[in-house]
A and B are shown apart, each in its own frame.
Chain A
Amino acid sequence: MNTKDSPGVIRSSSGIELKNYYTAEDIPESHRHRVHSAPGDAPYHRGWHPTGYRSKPWRIFQLSGFGKPEDENERIKFLLKNGETGFIMEHDRNTADHCYNVDHPEVVARREDVGLTGAVMQSVRDIAICLDGLPVDTSFGHAGGAVVQHAPFALAGYWTVAKKRGYDLSKIAGTGQSDFNLTYLGCVTKQQIPTDAGLRFNTDIIEFCGEHLPRWVPVSIAGYNAADTGLSPDQELGTLFANAVEYLDEIKRRGNVPLEQAAKGCAGVSFRASIHIFEEAAKLRAARLMWSDLLRSRYNITDPKTANLRIHCVTAGSKMTYQQPLNNIVRGTLMALTAAMGGVQSLGVSGYDEALSIPSEHAHQMSLRIQQVIQEETNFCAVTDPLGGSYYVETLTAQLAEKAWEFFEEIQQQGGYLASLDSGWLHAKAAENQHSEFMALESGEQHIVGVTCAREDESPFEVDGFMGTDDAFDVATERLQETLRTRHEAGACAAMKNLEAVCRSETNIMPVMLDALEAEVTLGEIGDIYRDVFGDWNTPIQT
Chain B
Amino acid sequence: MHDIQQLISAALDGKRAALARLLSVIEGADQNLLAIESQLTPPVGEAFVIGITGPPGAGKSTLINRLVPHALESFGQAAVLAIDPSSPFSQGALLGDRVRMQGGEFGERVFIRSMASRGEEGGLARATSTAVRLFDACKWPVVIIETLGIGQVELDIMNLADTVLVVLNPGWGDEIQANKAGLTEAGDVFAINKADKPGAAQTRKDLLDSVSLISSKSMPDIMETVATTDKGVLELWQAITAHHARLISSGELVERRHNRQRGLIRRIISDQINRLMDDALNTEEVAMLLEKSTVGEVDIHKALHRVLALMNR
Residue ranges of A at the interface with B (Cβ–Cβ < 8 Å): 105, 194, 423, 533-540, 542-543
Contact = CB atoms under 8 A, between A and B. Distances in A.
Nearest to B59: A538
A81 to B, nearest CB: 45
B94 A535 contact: no
Q: A105, A194, A533, A535: which has the most chain B beta carbons within 10 Å?
A: A535
B229 A539 contact: no
Closest 8 CB pairs of A and B: A542-B96, A535-B229, A535-B228, A542-B99, A536-B228, A538-B228, A538-B62, A194-B228
Contact of B227 (A105, A533, A538, A543): A538
A16 to B, nearest CB: 31
Interface string B83-109: 000000000001010011000010000
A543 B99 CA distance: 7
A contact patch SS = loop
Contacts, number: 26
A423 B57 contact: yes
Interface of B: 57, 59, 62, 94, 96, 99-100, 105, 226-231
Q: A536, A537, A543: which has the most chain B beta carbons within 10 Å?
A: A536
A543 B227 CA distance: 20
Nearest to A194: B228
A164 to B, nearest CB: 36
A540 B230 CA distance: 18
Contact of A537 (B57, B96, B226, B228): B228
Contacts of A535: 226, 228-231
Contacts of A534: 229
A538 B94 CA distance: 18
Given A535-B226, A537-B228, A542-B99, 10 more contacts: A534-B229, A535-B229, A535-B230, A536-B228, A536-B229, A538-B62, A538-B227, A539-B99, A540-B57, A543-B99
Nearest to A536: B228
20 contacts: A105-B105, A194-B228, A423-B57, A533-B229, A535-B226, A535-B228, A535-B229, A535-B230, A536-B229, A538-B62, A538-B100, A538-B227, A538-B228, A539-B99, A539-B100, A540-B57, A542-B94, A542-B96, A542-B99, A543-B96
Contacts of B99: 539, 542-543
Contacts of A537: 228
B98 to A, nearest CB: 9
A105 B105 CA distance: 9
A420 to B, nearest CB: 13
Contacts of A542: 94, 96, 99
Contacts of A533: 229
A271 B65 CA distance: 37
B245 to A, nearest CB: 30
Contacts of A423: 57
Contacts of B62: 538
A471 B180 CA distance: 58
Contacts of B226: 535
Contacts of B59: 538
B274 to A, nearest CB: 34
Contacts of B229: 533-536
A537 B100 CA distance: 11
A93 to B, nearest CB: 19
Nearest to A534: B229
Contacts of B94: 542
A152 to B, nearest CB: 19
A542 B57 CA distance: 12
Contacts of B96: 542-543
A396 B226 CA distance: 46
B201 to A, nearest CB: 19
A534 B229 CA distance: 6
Contacts of A105: 105
A529 to B, nearest CB: 13
A534 B231 CA distance: 11
A542 B82 CA distance: 14
A538 B63 CA distance: 10
A236 B57 CA distance: 26
Q: B59, B94, B226, B228: which has the most chain A beta carbons within 10 Å?
A: B228
B106 to A, nearest CB: 13
A312 B59 CA distance: 38
A538 B229 CA distance: 10
A194 B62 CA distance: 14
A534 B226 CA distance: 11
Contacts of B100: 538-539
B17 to A, nearest CB: 23
A537 B62 CA distance: 10
Contacts of B105: 105
Contacts of A194: 228
A540 B99 CA distance: 11
